[in-house]
Structure 1
């Protein structure tokens, strides 16, 4: 069985997505080809340690929760990420994948819940969006827009319409912490009657930016 380079495996509350608040095991893979200006996991760009998939599964089992999130970095930058998620599915876990939207998701098993960013202008990585990934989204999946300013909001609102995203999957609007006022973003969503879920990163409220939380 193949191996992956892992930055950390930890047990916490899900801070985002439609399972927010649920105890979840996070498997953070090392490496990312993007450099978003607001990234809060730069420590996962390099380093980590090689772990066989069997050892990863053993550690996940230790925590006794059915929810597992594979994250990064950009987890799909390691091809064996697909093997890991398939093995987790075989073990009966509810698996979600946090991905940047810049890597092809065609090979991801449809039972995996994709939580996929579409990079907004202020991220600095707008050009990396792989829009053909939208064709692989299902109603169980979620597209996340990280909003840093008014330009991001207007671009995100236009993208919802251009790709008919609310008809495809769930939509998440999340403010960049310390940059976009969350109350103002919430008020704009209500004013424009957008069919989106507003979310604040729960883990940052509870534990600030503590690693492994």
Structure 2
């Protein structure tokens, strides 16, 4: 059976997306072609350990949770990620994929919930956005904008309108911890009546930047 290079597998509360607070098994894949300025998982860029998909599934089963998040790094940088997700879905798990939006998502199993970033200017990776991915999103998916400053906010509002994203899927606006004041961002969303979900990274409020949380 095919293998996947894994940085860590751990059990925690979902800190983001519309399942925030739900106990979830996280499968963090190794490797990422992007270098976002606000990245908090640089340790997943290299290293890791190759594991067979059957071994990964066995480890996931030991946690006893039906919610699985496949994350990174950038999971789609490893093609075998697609097989892993499909096998988990076939077993009845609720699977979400956290992806940068820089790689093609068309091959992702339609049963998986895609949580896709659209990179804002402060990420330093604006040119990597693959906007053709938008047509592969459905109502169960989510698009996330990570907001670091006023420029990011204004730019994100424009993209939200230009691509009519709120008509396609759920939209998340998330402040960069320690950079964008969350109250100020919340006030802007209310003032502009944006059709988005404001989110703060719950896991960072609870455990700061501890790994495996």
User: Which residue matches 1:155?
Assistant: 155
SS of the equivalent of 2:62 reads helix
Residue 69, structure 1, aligned to residue 65, structure 2: no
SS of the equivalent of 2:160 reads helix
Q: Equivalent residues in 2 for 1:84-95 (5 A)?
A: 84-95=84-95
User: Which residue matches 1:58?
Assistant: 58
**Cα distance between partner residues in 2 of 1:87 and 1:110:** 13
**Cα distance between partner residues in 1 of 2:95 and 2:49:** 22
After TM superposition, where is structure 1 displaced by more than 3 Å over at least 4 residues in a row?
Answer: none
**Cα distance between partner residues in 1 of 2:139 and 2:87:** 23
- 1:143 deviation in Å? 0.1
Q: Equivalent residues in 2 for 1:78-157 (5 A)?
A: 78-157=78-157
User: Which residue matches 1:33?
Assistant: 33
**Cα distance between partner residues in 2 of 1:96 and 1:193:** 28
Tell me the number of residue pairs that the alignment of Structure 1 and Structure 2 aligns.
213
**Cα distance between partner residues in 2 of 1:205 and 1:132:** 34
User: Which residue matches 1:19?
Assistant: 19
Gaps of 5+ in 2: none
**Cα distance between partner residues in 1 of 2:109 and 2:54:** 19
User: Which residue matches 1:45?
Assistant: 45
- 1:137 deviation in Å? 0.4
- 1:136 deviation in Å? 0.4
Give the TM-score, by structure 2 length: 1.00
**Cα distance between partner residues in 1 of 2:82 and 2:128:** 21
- 1:3 deviation in Å? 0.1
**Cα distance between partner residues in 2 of 1:161 and 1:200:** 23
**Cα distance between partner residues in 2 of 1:88 and 1:37:** 32
**Cα distance between partner residues in 2 of 1:8 and 1:115:** 19
Give the TM-score, by structure 1 length: 1.00
- 1:83 deviation in Å? 0.4
SS of the equivalent of 2:12 reads strand
Gaps of 5+ in 1: none
Query: Deviations 1:25-49 (Å, cap 9, x if unpaired)?
Result: 0000000000000000000000000
- 1:192 deviation in Å? 0.1
User: Which residue matches 1:186?
Assistant: 186
**Cα distance between partner residues in 2 of 1:37 and 1:101:** 16
User: Which residue matches 1:5?
Assistant: 5
